[in-house]
Amino acid sequence: MTMRKQLYSASEMESAIARMAAAIAAAFPQAGKECALVGIHQLGVPLAERLRDAVSRITGQAPEFGKLDISMYRDDIGNRNPLPLIRETEIDFDVNDRSIILVDDVLSSGRTIRAALDALTDYGRPRMIRLAVLVDRGEPEYPIRADFVGFQSSLPADRKVAVSFGGELDAGIYEVDWKK
């Protein structure tokens, strides 16, 4: 049985996304021309879509948007059972000399972001890469930090953070204990 405890409601999550979008708009006032948002499959994609829409409302320009699959770039690809579902990467713009904001739901170990950096640079050489995460767990294994953060979390290591944009689980951010 899995124990779930809501940490943040859907409205708190939307407020955090609005704050993140405001920070992105401040860093990239000409967002439609200056940067692109690339969501990491799976939950980075809906977050990136929400950030794109919010940045567009602030700046009047929608940043370009892409989806990145990192499945084949993970350092644990052979250790996973079952093997991961491969999704399509959709980056319909030139990443060369572009400011890219990678978007994911939770920064925990940093392994996903490390894999995303490898995958993204196979598409070209961005001018800069920044990171936006809804929840930063605060102690990654890799020297990776988020530039745009919705929430800081200091949950114990045996707890997971699950983000839901709706569906089986009500929208919100949850603490999950997989062992119970």
Query: How confident is the model over 98-129, as pLDDT tens digits?
Result: 999 999 999 999 999 999 999 999 999 999 99
Is the pLDDT at 143 greater than 70, yes or no?
yes
Residue 86 near residue 76 (C-beta atoms within 8 A): no
Tell me: the pLDDT tens digits for 9-61?
999 999 999 999 999 999 999 888 889 999 999 999 999 999 999 999 999 99
Architecture in CATH of 15-27+34-73+88-153: 3-Layer(aba) Sandwich (3.40)
pLDDT at residue 13 in the model: 96
